[in-house]
Amino acid sequence: MLIAEGRKHFLRYGLGGAVAEKIAEDAGYSRGALYSNFDGKEELFLAVIQQEQALHLNFLRSLLNDEPSGKKRLKKMRDAIADLMTDHDWVVLRAEFEAGALRSERIRQSFVEVHRQQLRDGSELIRDLLRSPEVTSSLKPEDFITVIINLAHGLAVTQRILGTELSQKNTRSLIQSLFDHLISSA
């Protein structure tokens, strides 16, 4: 409950603007209950990020496990990554995480850990995709996932800032094209 309420507050107010006492109150807990579960607002924010990462990874894994065809798995993964990278809430949380990492050494260290785990997990998914004779890439899985994560997120942040100038549909299409350029099916 605290993580869900923290997520709402971080999306609305950002890490700097969210107030731990208000999060606890809105979740139906006392301030002490929040601090008995988390060292503070930053640790709660990191729990939100870790939960988001786990949900995304589990979704991608289940999506790929349900499909035996390499071509179809590739398309499903491409579309799921484009959806994720253009999801408003994830774009905002990830950007807030990045900004926090630039301001706080503790958050920076957590960002490094989460980013490394994201690269490991993403590389594993790409490696699994590349086991199919129908799917090829000129990039190593680690390089592929690094490019996709960083370029796709950058596009999504720019789209959120520009609004109508660069539509979400265009951003999604650009991410899909990038994905298709870096990995393809026979």
Return d(Cα 77, Cα 6) in angstroms, integer: 29
Return d(Cα 99, Cα 108) in angstroms, integer: 9
Per-residue pLDDT reduced to its tens digit, 72-106 = 888 888 898 888 888 889 889 999 999 999 999 99
Backbone angles phi, psi at 96, to 5 degrees: -65, -40
Q: Which of 112, 113, 138, 140 is nearest to 126 (CA)?
A: 140
Domain boundaries, the chain: 41-185
In this prediction, residue 67 has a pLDDT band, given cuts at 50, 70 and 90, of: confident
Three-state SS at 184: strand
Return d(Cα 14, Cα 173) in angstroms, integer: 28
Predicted model pTM: 0.85
Per-residue pLDDT reduced to its tens digit, 127-186 = 998 888 888 898 999 999 999 888 888 888 888 888 766 676 777 888 888 888 888 866
The reply to whether CATH 1.10.357.10 applies to domain 41-185 is: yes
Return d(Cα 48, Cα 61) in angstroms, integer: 20
Per the model's pLDDT, the better-predicted residue between 152 and 17 turns out to be 17
Residue 165, pLDDT score: 65
Q: Strand 135-137 to strand 183-185: parallel, antiparallel, or no bridges (unpaired)?
A: antiparallel
Residue 183's Cα: distance from chain center in Å? 20
Contacts of 73 (CB under 8 A, 6+ apart): 64, 67, 129, 132, 135
How much is the average pLDDT of 28-32? 90
Return d(Cα 137, Cα 75) in angstroms, integer: 14
Rounded to the nearest integer, the mean pLDDT of the chain is 89
How much is the average pLDDT of 16-34? 92
Per-position DSSP letters for 57-110, written without gaps between them: HHHHHHHHHT---HHHHHHHHHHHHHHHHT-HHHHHHHHHHHHHHHH-HHHHHH
